[in-house]
Each structure stands twice: as structure tokens, then as C-alpha cells.
Chain A
Amino acid sequence: MTREEVLLDFTSRFHEDILDLYDKSRSRVYVTITPESILRIGTYLFRNVGARFNIASGTDMPPNIEILYHFIVEDINLLISLRVLLDREDPVIDSLGRDIEAMNWIEREMSELLGITFTGHPDPRRLLLADNWPEGVYPLRQDYEEWDETADRTRGI
């Protein structure tokens, strides 16, 4: 399939869920979708279109938390980024890691660094932070402040 066919098929199939489509360049497309539809659209891209899952990136953008799911269709060199906006106070979204093994780790990472809840995740343990890291403190949030009183930020050797 060509780039136009893939995009046409994608937009006609999910036209109700797509809020915005920004065609940035030949190889980059940003699509804003509703959070409810992520499971359908993500699985469709991965299984049916044959796209490879690059990664997801979460960003704290008050008053929202934004997740971008990056997929690449390698044959036509097209990177499709699905944008989802969540409520910052209670960010909850369906887990794709349940069906797609490749998304397992990144969802664990986002849930501990940004405090996003992935419902139905098979293995919601910590991935990167230490066991003594306090609950409810998310380092990648904009309002993160140092919690550790023993920390030394001087240069001295």
C-alpha cells in the first residue's frame, strides 16, 4: 500500500475517533484520537497494517497529560504518532501491553515516572525507580520537587 492508501484507509475506518490529523511531512503524521479508542486503533495499526511499535512518550502538559504512541510503517517510511490527551488529576487509559508484548515495559515506565494508570496491565510493577522511592512522587511531572532531604547538590569533590 502507498502512503495515501494507508492514511485514507486509516481515516475512513476510524473517522469518529480521530479528533485531529496533522500531516507534518512526508514521513511524519500526528493524529489526535479519543482515549477510549486507543485499544482499537493501536491494535489495528500493529496487527493489520503491520506497523512496528517504536515507543510511547508521555508528557506532562498542564492541565493535561499527553501520551504519544509512535508507530512506523517501514515499507513506506511513515511514522504515525497517535496523540491521546488525559486528565492530569486522574490519568487513566486502557493498557495495550496486555495484547502487544512490545508495549509492556514502556507502560510500566510511564506509570511510575508520570503517574498514568494503565487499566488491565499484566505486570504493573516498578521498572526504573528504586524500591524506596516514595509513592505518588512522579519525577517527570512539571511540579516535581526534591523530596530527599539528604541529597547533596553541591559540586565539591
Chain B
Amino acid sequence: MSLKLKALLKSPWVFHLSTGSCNNCDIETLDCLTPRFDIERFGMLLVGSIKHADVLLVTGSCNRMSVERMKALWEQVPKPCLVVAIGTCAGSRGIFKDSYNCPVPLDQIIPVDVYIPGCPPKPEAIIAGAVKLIEKVGSTL
């Protein structure tokens, strides 16, 4: 397991999953790829299929319909896989805590490794979160 994790940290490929967000976190995540922030220089790449992913970026407040899809995707993802909760919604559902369509927070559904708070977190915060994730996992090896 630790060899796999070590290999994974060299260039973590990320898959992005929105579970009923307002798109802000999603756009800021994409913004990290564009010229000003350019997270690809650290070897991170946004991939189109969950089967290629090492890291799952989850945004949004987990609504009833997307939770089912998220569980299905979590079963398909090759382990080990790290989970990053981007934004306040993914962290604690924030303002949508009492919504009839958002019954449970993300960390009660799948294990979360890193929380990046903010509404939305700035690209700098997302990059800092990614670095912390790599440091955290790297130190356990």
C-alpha cells in the first residue's frame, strides 16, 4: 500500500466530482489549471475518468440524487485514493444544512483526507491544500 501511495504522490491525477454545488468551487478548481495558477507544473492533471484518478476532489453539499452516484463512483475508483473536500459545502454543508435535499454531510459517506474551507476557496488556497495533502500523506510513509 505504501509503495502505491508513494508512487501516487509524484503526480497525483485528480477527478473532480460535484455533488450539488454552486459551481464556484468547481470554477476555482479549474482556474488552478489556467495560466495564472497553473497547477499542472506540479504534475497534477484533471482526468475525465474516475478509473484514472488518484485524488477525488469533491465539491457541493451532497444532495440526494448525486449521493447515489458518488457511492457508485467511490466503489469504482482504484484504491488507494485520497479525498479532498473543497469548499464549505463539502466540509459541513454550510448554509444548506437544513435543506430537505441535503440529508448527510460528505464525511459520513466517504472518508475525507483534507478539507479546504472557503466559499469559494481561492485558487491559492486550493493549491495550498493540495500541497498539505502531499505533505501529510508523505510523512506517513
A interface with B by C-beta (< 8 Å): 129-133, 139, 144, 146, 148, 150-153, 155-157
A129, A132, A152: the one within 8 Å of B105 (CB):
A152
B interface with A by C-beta (< 8 Å): 63-65, 68, 91-92, 97-98, 100-101, 103-105, 107-108, 115
B97, B98, B103: the one within 8 Å of A150 (CB):
B103
**Chain A residues touching B, majority SS:** loop
A136 to chain B, nearest CB (A): 15
Within 8 Å CB of A156, what residues of B? 92, 105
Whether the Cβ atoms of A130 and B64 lie closer than 8 Å is yes
A121 to chain B, nearest CB (A): 22
Most chain-B CB neighbours within 10 Å: which of A129, A148, A157?
Answer: A157
Within 8 Å CB of A157, what residues of B? 91-92, 105, 107, 115
Within 8 Å CB of A148, what residues of B? 103
Extra contacts, 6 of them, besides A150-B103, A157-B105 (Cβ < 8 A), are: A139-B100, A139-B101, A150-B104, A151-B103, A157-B91, A157-B107
Whether the Cβ atoms of B101 and A152 lie closer than 8 Å is no
Within 8 Å CB of B101, what residues of A? 129-130, 139
A133–B107 Cα distance when bound, in Å, is: 22
Within 8 Å CB of B64, what residues of A? 129-130, 132-133
Whether the Cβ atoms of A155 and B97 lie closer than 8 Å is yes
Within 8 Å CB of A130, what residues of B? 63-65, 68, 101
A-B contact pairs, 28 of them (CB 8 A): A129-B65, A129-B101, A130-B63, A130-B64, A130-B65, A130-B68, A130-B101, A131-B65, A132-B68, A133-B64, A139-B100, A139-B101, A146-B100, A148-B103, A150-B103, A151-B104, A152-B103, A152-B104, A152-B105, A153-B98, A155-B92, A155-B97, A156-B92, A157-B91, A157-B92, A157-B105, A157-B107, A157-B115
Within 8 Å CB of B115, what residues of A? 157
A83–B22 Cα distance when bound, in Å, is: 32
B135 to chain A, nearest CB (A): 21
A145 to chain B, nearest CB (A): 10
Chain A's closest residue to B66 (CB) is A130
